[in-house]
Amino acid sequence: MSTSATFDPLEFRKALGTFATGVTIITTRADDGTPLGLTVNSFNSVSLDPPLVLWSLANSALSFDAFRKAGHWAVHVLAADQEELSARFARRGEDKFGGLDLEQGIGGVPLLKGCAARFQCRTASQYQGGDHLIFIGEVLAFDRDETAPLVFHGGRYAHATRRDPAGIKPRSAYLAGSFGEDFLGYLLGRSHFRFFAQIRPYLAEAGLSDEEFYVLASLTLKPQMSAEDLAIGMQGVLDEQSQAAVQALVDRGLARIVTPAPSTAGTAYELSDDGRNLALRLIAQAKSVESQVLERLGHADAVVIKSLLNRLLAVIDPQAAVLWGEPPR
Amino acid sequence: MSTSATFDPLEFRKALGTFATGVTIITTRADDGTPLGLTVNSFNSVSLDPPLVLWSLANSALSFDAFRKAGHWAVHVLAADQEELSARFARRGEDKFGGLDLEQGIGGVPLLKGCAARFQCRTASQYQGGDHLIFIGEVLAFDRDETAPLVFHGGRYAHATRRDPAGIKPRSAYLAGSFGEDFLGYLLGRSHFRFFAQIRPYLAEAGLSDEEFYVLASLTLKPQMSAEDLAIGMQGVLDEQSQAAVQALVDRGLARIVTPAPSTAGTAYELSDDGRNLALRLIAQAKSVESQVLERLGHADAVVIKSLLNRLLAVIDPQAAVLWGEPPR
């Protein structure tokens, strides 16, 4: 427990940062017509009747005087895809509005587009709060869009993912908790199998096994891939099956063995034109399956599941870096 | 755009709900010694020097008078696993503190345990804000724990998941964006293969193929499983390989064919004692691998990745319900 006797400002910031918030940009127009805006996460609702919201601004902010004098301002609750906008309005001084498609709001306040919600406010009160001024605004108009929010937590941007309703626990198994919806291996296996079941008809049409498709697609990652890199990249994935798969591709004229350049040791593989065309066609078909699945899952969850699977691979998959041509993580 | 002329309170609430927040419980002690507390998400930081925070309370709240008169109160920022506590303190009237392990804070304020952060405050100011009163507190002491936060967004609880740093895009592939870290099929396939590569040594020791283990473990889900249910449950997963796998288990005495009961049609399978023991041992070993992987991934991400894979399966996997003995979702 830190007390006033031992009050470390950095620790205090960290403690405040445990409270997650959305991210807003607050805009106004200065007396001389200049549009002003800054990124703020101290926003919150106050009252429903009358409709009031609040936020606070550091006394030291460059735009402090302009906001203090402003009769109107607008709060923009940012969407998940507006992180760059958030960063732009968090920087000092820059021409923040350059190139943005603006609307004109009540009192001439510049309004940004593509936000999760916007509140157009009239300054109702201002209260001193230490090194900040608290702005209370009466909401005169608002709009809202169905979109995932940008979130800030622990000093970093975050995603918000809908929680499973409390009480809906994983369905119980006969042998309690043993194998099923709470076991990552089951979830990964079943998701992989079921996802590929939707792609397999296209592979069957092209006469490719799962393994042959996996190797074919992996060969698209580099102009040429040495046999050694392929073997390392497939370690723990297809293992010795990868050799049979690449040989099958060579036999069908989809890939070929490259004569080693003097500077490299050992054999390398590259796709033939036929192989590259087939790979691109199958990948396009697989991408189309993916689009349909992700649309049903929802955009917000789709972004997060990919991000988390990449993070999982960073934990369990040092070999991927070989395929991707980067030093091991 | 809703304007004051067309101000729908429900729509206004929804617009406010686009701003994600953490969840806090604020506690105090009434004049007569009664501990009081309520769930609040209108908390925010105000000032670093002096250290000030704020929150607002509806004039209509049962504990309004007690909080208005209180010289001290404490803000508890809730952790991801405190959703039940949040719900308890959001209900009216109940004995909210019953059975809780409390500490005594400054001014006799009851302090809850297990939170992401706690701020012990002295009432610094109170401001009217429409139908709410805004409390400004000077922070006298605080503490913090490294834990995932409880988040509220769009009227529901949510998880916050750290975002990938902007600018770190998926590593580019030779054939741009074709097959790789942004393709769900690749991520699922590679995660599955790599995860199982860590379990495979245990399977090899037991002389089981991947498919045989998958069927063996699936048979633990029910006391008996009809051949038809097994076939439907394995559709798009192992397909015809499941028949060979279950036969191999029967041949080894790990599973047996059950004489059909008069009420059921067709063959059913059940595990033998040997089969059940082997399944439990392998599942325990697999769980131990899982624990190590999830520990490296981090608890917060682990919870979310499982939740999202379950949601993905709900989209692509109607057959799972057959194995789980529930009606299709």
Is B246 contained in some domain?
yes
B40 and B77 part of one domain? yes
B13 touches A: beta carbon within 8 Å = yes
Total domains in chain A come to 2
Per cent of chain A over pLDDT 90 is: 59
- Helices B273-297 & A299-316 angle (0-180, nearest 10): 100
ipTM strictly over 0.95? no
Is A68 contained in some domain?
yes
Nearest to B142 among A15, A140, A174 (CB): A15
What CATH number corresponds to the domain at position A199? 1.10.10.10
Task: Judge: B304–A309 Cβ closer than 8 Å, yes or no.
Answer: no
Q: Which residues of chain A lie closer than 8 angstroms to B326, CB-CB? A: 171
Interface size between A and B, measured as CB pairs under 8 A: 459
B114 and B224 part of one domain? no
The beta-carbon contacts of B94-103 under 8 Å, at least 24 apart in sequence, are: B96/B35, B96/B37, B97/B35, B97/B37, B102/B35
B315 and B261 part of one domain? yes
A237 and A119 part of one domain? no
Backbone torsions φ then ψ of B175, nearest 5 degrees: -95, 105
A144 and A192 part of one domain? no
Task: Judge: A21–B24 Cβ closer than 8 Å, yes or no.
Answer: no
Token pair 């009192």: residue = A107
C-alpha A139/C-alpha A158 separation (Å) is 27
A237 within 8 A of A316, measured Cβ to Cβ:
no
Q: What is the mean pLDDT of residues A146-165?
A: 88
**DSSP secondary structure string, B141-169?**
EEEE---PBPEEETTEEEEEEEPPPTT-P
Q: Which residues of chain A lie closer than 8 angstroms to B19, CB-CB? A: 21-22, 24, 43-45, 77, 116-117, 149
Q: What is the mean pLDDT of residues A29-37?
A: 95
Omega within 30 of 0 (cis) for the link into A35: no
pLDDT score, position B166: 55
State which residues form the domain around B252.
184-324
B15 and B154 part of one domain? yes
Domain stops at, among B93, B124, B158: B158
Would you place residue B279 in the very low, low, confident or very high pLDDT band (cuts 50, 70, 90)? very high
Average pLDDT of chain A is 87
Is B173 contained in some domain?
no
Q: What is the mean pLDDT of residues B268-290?
A: 92
A137 and A237 part of one domain? no
Tokens read off for B326: 């529930």
Beta bridge partners of A322: none
C-alpha B42/C-alpha A68 separation (Å) is 23
C-alpha B134/C-alpha B128 separation (Å) is 6
Q: Which amino acid is residue B215, in one-letter code?
A: V
| Burial of A126 (C-beta count, 10 Å sphere; 0-12/13-18/19+) | middle
Is B166 contained in some domain?
no
Q: Which amino acid is residue B102, in one-letter code?
A: L
Is A82 contained in some domain?
yes
Task: Judge: A144–B15 Cβ closer than 8 Å, yes or no.
Answer: yes
Q: Which residues of chain B lie closer than 8 angstroms to A24, CB-CB? A: 19
C-alpha A18/C-alpha B117 separation (Å) is 7
Q: Which residues of chain A lie closer than 8 angstroms to B301, CB-CB? A: 308, 311
Q: Which residues of chain A lie closer than 8 angstroms to B159, CB-CB? A: 160-163
Is A211 contained in some domain?
yes
Is B16 contained in some domain?
yes
B234-265 per-position pLDDT tens digit: 877 777 788 899 999 999 999 999 876 665 56
The distance from CA B189 to its chain's CA centroid, rounded to whole angstroms, is 24
Domain stops at, among A158, A192, A221: A158
B43-62 per-position pLDDT tens digit: 999 999 999 999 999 999 99
Q: Which residues of chain A lie closer than 8 angstroms to B162, CB-CB? A: 153-154, 156, 158-159
B294-305 per-position pLDDT tens digit: 999 988 888 889
Task: Judge: B18–A117 Cβ closer than 8 Å, yes or no.
Answer: yes
Q: With left for phi above 0 and alpha for psi between -120 and 50, is residue A138 left, alpha or beta?
A: beta
What CATH number corresponds to the domain at position B69? 2.30.110.10
B94 and B16 part of one domain? yes
Q: What SS3 class is residue B19?
A: coil
Is B115 contained in some domain?
yes
A91 within 8 A of A85, measured Cβ to Cβ:
no
C-alpha A212/C-alpha A234 separation (Å) is 12
Would you place residue A1 in the very low, low, confident or very high pLDDT band (cuts 50, 70, 90)? low
B189 and B154 part of one domain? no
The Cα of B251 is separated from the nearest Cα of chain A by a number of Å equal to: 23
A167 within 8 A of A98, measured Cβ to Cβ:
no
Q: Which amino acid is residue B244, in one-letter code?
A: A
pLDDT score, position B226: 85
Nearest to A184 among B171, B217, B293 (CB): B293
B190 and B255 part of one domain? yes
**Nearest chain A Cα to B25, which residue?**
A19
Backbone torsions φ then ψ of A239, nearest 5 degrees: 50, -130
Nearest to B220 among A52, A179, A221 (CB): A179
How far is residue A308 from each of residues A35, A137, A214, A273, A305, measured CA to CA in Å?
Answer: 39, 39, 21, 35, 5
Task: Judge: B309–A197 Cβ closer than 8 Å, yes or no.
Answer: no
Domain stops at, among A141, A158, A175: A158
Q: What SS3 class is residue B89?
A: helix
A221 and A306 part of one domain? yes
A10 touches B: beta carbon within 8 Å = no
Task: Judge: A15–B143 Cβ closer than 8 Å, yes or no.
Answer: yes
Average pLDDT of chain B is 87
B170-220 per-position pLDDT tens digit: 444 444 445 677 789 888 988 998 898 899 899 999 999 888 998 998 888
| Burial of B206 (C-beta count, 10 Å sphere; 0-12/13-18/19+) | middle
A315 and A201 part of one domain? yes
Q: Which residues of chain A lie closer than 8 angstroms to B46, CB-CB? A: 42, 56, 129-130, 132, 134
Q: Which residues of B131-144 are buried (b: 16+ CB within 10 A; e: fewer)?
A: bbbbbbbbbbbbeb
